[in-house]
Amino acid sequence: MFDLSLSLIEGNLFLKYNHHHCCLDYHRFTITMPNTEPEEATRENRESNDGSFECNICLDTAKDAVVSMCGHLFCWPCLYQWLETKPQRQVCPVCKALISRDKVTPIYGRGSSRRDPRDTLPPRPPGQRTEPEPHPSTSFPGFGFGDGGFHMSFGIGAFPFGYFSSTIFNFSDNRPAPSPSNPDYLEDALLSKMFFFVAMILLFYLLVA
Site of interaction with another protein (CB under 8 A): 7, 9-10, 12, 14, 16, 19, 22-27, 30, 39, 42-43, 46, 56-60, 77-78, 81-82, 85, 91-94, 96, 118, 121
**Rounded least distance, CB 115 to another protein, Å:** 14
Per the CB < 8 A criterion, the answer to whether 179 and 185 are in contact is yes
**Rounded least distance, CB 26 to another protein, Å:** 5
**Rounded least distance, CB 106 to another protein, Å:** 19
Per the CB < 8 A criterion, the answer to whether 175 and 144 are in contact is yes
- Distance between CA 160 and CA 156 in Å, rounded? 8
Q: In this structure, what are the phi and psi dihedrals at residue 12, rounded to the nearest 5 degrees?
A: -120, 140
The strand pairing partners of 74, in sequence order, are 66
The nearer residue to another protein, 25 or 147, going by C-beta atoms, is 25
Overall residue count recorded for the chain in this entry: 209
Per the CB < 8 A criterion, the answer to whether 57 and 74 are in contact is yes
Strand residue runs (E) in 76-197: 104-106
The nearer residue to another protein, 39 or 133, going by C-beta atoms, is 39
**Rounded least distance, CB 75 to another protein, Å:** 9
The nearer residue to another protein, 17 or 159, going by C-beta atoms, is 17
The nearer residue to another protein, 91 or 203, going by C-beta atoms, is 91
- Distance between CA 40 and CA 33 in Å, rounded? 16
- Distance between CA 149 and CA 190 in Å, rounded? 12
**Rounded least distance, CB 102 to another protein, Å:** 20
The nearer residue to another protein, 42 or 138, going by C-beta atoms, is 42
